[in-house]
């Protein structure tokens, strides 16, 4: 077409060209936002806003298909009266241009909704005085997510170029939708994994409790006081491990334990079995350490309590055993087990442990990269273990 002498046509072309360039820019902008992994709802809102701007339309919306209700929910949008975005929906059948796009899978331009024969004009569009609409399908992962729609009141017309832009925006959004679904599936798989882990922890604990009961039964039936004692001690060692698994599956974190709470529980268990002694605890909560380390630390405490009950108060009425756990500085934990008994025998040498108990203590403290110190008191003995966090 020739340019008119008044210059109208070149002006029009220039305007159209500027709009195409702006559309290109907006597609690039959207692409970057999507690639940066923007929050999904924000991305939907941003796509609506930018698509409306690029097409010089007053309205735009992202419709999400809800198959169970056969409806399209307005998930995000611009230009709409209050109470529409996030709430209103339209039928996903041929009663709307969006439903038509979803059903046929084809983009739809309708510049004269009032003359349309392919579908009816939904109430929502009529109420807003909308004359023309353009719809493209939003692909998801497998099934379509929904429809991207721009609407306008003005008498202007949407053209093929506009449709190409809208399709471009929908493709970008489609990629983000796919990624969001993948993310959600991954989270679901992770959640299931956690549940299974907890279930495993629960079962391990049950199995260990069975072992504990068997040892206790045998301890009762064996008819030899020395062997009874050994078997009871073995039962306590196993039950200290069982308790760790119990606590692991109760807590939010499957890998870490609140050391104070855990050891407190073990002391309660032991308190019942060392009837002649009272075990007092002074523990600081929220010192979290890995389950493996917590189990080793608890076995150490278990041995030290057993020793205090067995040796410190030998031949006496009984007495107090104090277990304390606290943070020491920023990066250390202090664990102390103290009795008010006879004190250690002459010749007691930490470096040359005689019994199994002290061997367990020294080797676990070493494994934990900790230090063990014996502090004689009057009366009694205190064992202090310092561990790195």
Ligand X SMILES: Nc1ncnc2c1ncn2[C@@H]1O[C@H](COP(=O)(O)OP(=O)(O)OP(=O)(O)O)[C@@H](O)[C@H]1O
Please report, as ranges, the residues that interact with Mg ion according to CB under 5 A: 307, 355, 357
3-state secondary structure the chain: CCCCCCCHHHHHHHHHHHHHHHHHHHHHHHHHHHHCCCCHHHHHHHHHHHHHHHCCCCEEEEEEEEHHHCEEEEEEEECCCCCCCCCCEEECCCCCHHHHHHHHCCCEEECCHHHCCCCCCCHHHHHCCCCEEEEEEECCCCCCCEEEEEEECCCCCCCHHHHHHHHHHHHHHHHHHHHHHHHHHHHHHHHHHHHHHHHHHHHHHHHHHHHHHHHHHHHHHCCCHHHHHHHHHHHHHHHHHHHHHHHHHHCCCCCEEEHHHHHHHHHHHHHHHCCCEEEEEEECCCCEEEHHHHHHHHHHHHHHHHHHHHHHCCCCCCEEEEEEEEEECCCEEEEEEEECCCCCCCCCCCCCCCCHHHHHHHHHHHHCCCEEEEEECCCCEEEEEEEEC
Site string for ligand X, 343-382 (x = CB under 6 A): -xx--x----xxxxxx----------------------x-
| 279 binds ligand X, rule: CB under 6 A | no
Stretch that binds ligand X, among 2-10, 11-19, 101-109, 309-317 (CB under 6 A): 309-317
- The distance of closest approach from Cβ of residue 307 to ligand X in the complex, given in angstroms and rounded to an integer, is 3
- The distance of closest approach from Cβ of residue 301 to ligand X in the complex, given in angstroms and rounded to an integer, is 13
From ligand X, Mg ion, none, which one binds at residue 5 (CB under 5 to 8 Å depending on kind)?
none
From Mg ion, ligand X, none, which one binds at residue 49 (CB under 5 to 8 Å depending on kind)?
none
Stretch that binds ligand X, among 122-130, 147-155, 294-302, 339-347 (CB under 6 A): 339-347
- The distance of closest approach from Cβ of residue 381 to ligand X in the complex, given in angstroms and rounded to an integer, is 5
| 258 binds ligand X, rule: CB under 6 A | no
- The distance of closest approach from Cβ of residue 385 to ligand X in the complex, given in angstroms and rounded to an integer, is 14
- The distance of closest approach from Cβ of residue 236 to Mg ion in the complex, given in angstroms and rounded to an integer, is 11
By C-beta, is 50 or 335 nearer to ligand X?
335
- The distance of closest approach from Cβ of residue 348 to ligand X in the complex, given in angstroms and rounded to an integer, is 5
By C-beta, is 119 or 364 nearer to ligand X?
364
Residues binding ligand X: what is the number (CB under 6 A)? Answer: 20
- Interface with ligand X by CB under 6 A: which residues? 233, 303, 307-308, 310-312, 339, 341-342, 344-345, 348, 353-358, 381
């Amino acid at each position: 077409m020739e340019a008119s002498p008044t210059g109208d046509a070149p002006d029009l072309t220039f305007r159209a060209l500027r709009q195409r360039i702006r559309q290109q820019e907006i597609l690039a902008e959207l692409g970057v936002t999507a690639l940066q992994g923007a929050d999904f709802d924000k991305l939907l809102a941003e796509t609506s806003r930018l698509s409306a701007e690029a097409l010089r339309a007053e309205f735009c919306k992202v419709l999400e298909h809800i198959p169970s209700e056969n409806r399209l929910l307005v998930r995000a949008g611009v230009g709409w009266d209050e109470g529409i975005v996030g709430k209103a929906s339209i039928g996903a059948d041929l009663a709307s241009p969006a439903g038509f796009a979803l059903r046929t899978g084809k983009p739809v331009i309708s510049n004269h909704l009032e003359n349309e024969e392919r579908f009816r004009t939904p109430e929502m569009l009529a109420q807003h005085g909308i004359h023309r609409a353009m719809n493209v399908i939003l692909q998801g992962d497998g099934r379509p997510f929904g429809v991207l729609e721009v609407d306008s009141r003005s008498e202007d017309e949407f053209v093929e170029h506009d449709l190409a832009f809208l399709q471009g925006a929908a493709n970008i959004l489609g990629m983000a939708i796919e990624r969001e679904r993948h993310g959600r599936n991954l989270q679901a798989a992770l959640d299931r994994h956690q549940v299974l882990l907890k279930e495993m922890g629960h079962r391990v604990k049950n199995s260990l409790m069975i072992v504990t009961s068997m040892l206790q039964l045998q301890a009762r039936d064996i008819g030899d006081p020395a062997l009874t004692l050994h078997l009871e001690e073995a039962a306590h060692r196993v039950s200290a491990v069982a308790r760790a698994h119990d606590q692991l599956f109760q807590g939010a974190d499957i890998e870490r334990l609140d050391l104070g709470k855990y050891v407190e529980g073990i002391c309660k268990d032991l308190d019942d079995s060392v009837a002649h002694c009272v075990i007092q605890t002074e523990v600081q909560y929220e010192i979290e350490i890995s389950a493996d380390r917590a189990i080793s630390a608890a076995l150490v405490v278990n041995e030290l309590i057993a020793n205090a009950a067995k040796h410190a108060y030998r031949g006496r009425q009984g007495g107090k055993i104090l277990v304390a756990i606290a943070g020491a500085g920023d990066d250390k934990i202090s664990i102390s087990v103290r009795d008010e008994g006879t004190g250690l025998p002459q010749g007691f040498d930490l470096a040359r442990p005689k019994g199994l108990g002290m061997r367990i203590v020294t080797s676990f403290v070493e494994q934990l990269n900790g230090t063990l110190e014996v502090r004689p008191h009057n009366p009694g003995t205190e064992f202090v273990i310092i561990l790195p966090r």
